[in-house]
Amino acid sequence: MSQPRVVVLDHGSGNLRSAERALSAAGADTVISDDPGAAFAADGLVVPGVGAFATCMAGLRGVLGHQVIGRRLAGGRPVLGICVGMQVLFEEGNEHGVRTEGCGEWPGLVQQLSAPVLPHMGWNTVSVPAGSTLFTGVEQERFYFVHSYAVRRFDLQPAPPLTPPLVTWSEHGERFVAAVENGPLSATQFHPEKSGAAGARLLANWVGSL
């Protein structure tokens, strides 16, 4: 069986090389590219991101990434967002009172966590819902986070027969969304490529589902 082709989208913001290496180790034929055609045609698309929501979103629009994500999802083609690459999938980000429109694939607002220490940096546990594919075999493990902003509520509850998204939560000062699995669209607030054996297993789970 051939390896699934995965594109790590180069939009100017993200741990591209570390994500590429981790996905290759997880069994994917991985390439970094800013080409919309390649990003659309791949078996799986990974959207990384670090830094500010607005900067990440501007870079994403610069390579038509928001359009590619929408087209892929309309056709049921898998997308995985990581860190700020997860945050931009939501409707809106609010940084220092400045609001920036996101991709709008999920309802929700990305805002600063209310916590005694920011950024939230280091290993943390997660609360995984039953039926998760991403977290199979690592439900009780810790993952590596580096962020100050997050989504505090997840209100998407589609009417039957559509299946509600599986939402994984974590806590730092308050509860926040740590991961979402929603049909072909998945995302993690933490960095699986920096999360040791647990992160490697999670990426292998995603690659294996392609």
Active site residue 193: yes
- CA atoms within a 13 Å half-sphere pointing along the CA-CB vector of 181: 16
Residue 207 neighbours by CB under 8 Å, 6+ apart = 4, 6, 23, 26, 27, 28, 44
Bin 131: left if φ > 0, else alpha if -120 < ψ < 50, else beta. Answer: left
- The separation between CA 206 and the C-alpha centre of its own chain, rounded to angstroms, equals 12
Q: Which of 83, 103, 105, 181 is catalytic?
A: 83
Q: Nearest CA to 143 among 90, 197, 91?
A: 197
Distance between CA 67 and CA 60 in Å, rounded? 9
103 is catalytic: no
3-class SS letters over 83-115: CHHHHCCEEEEEECCEEEECCCCEEEEEEECCC
Q: Do 107 and 159 touch, CB atoms closer than 8 A? A: no
Pairing of strands 5-9, 44-47: parallel
The reply to whether 172 belongs to the active site is no
List active site positions: 83, 191, 193
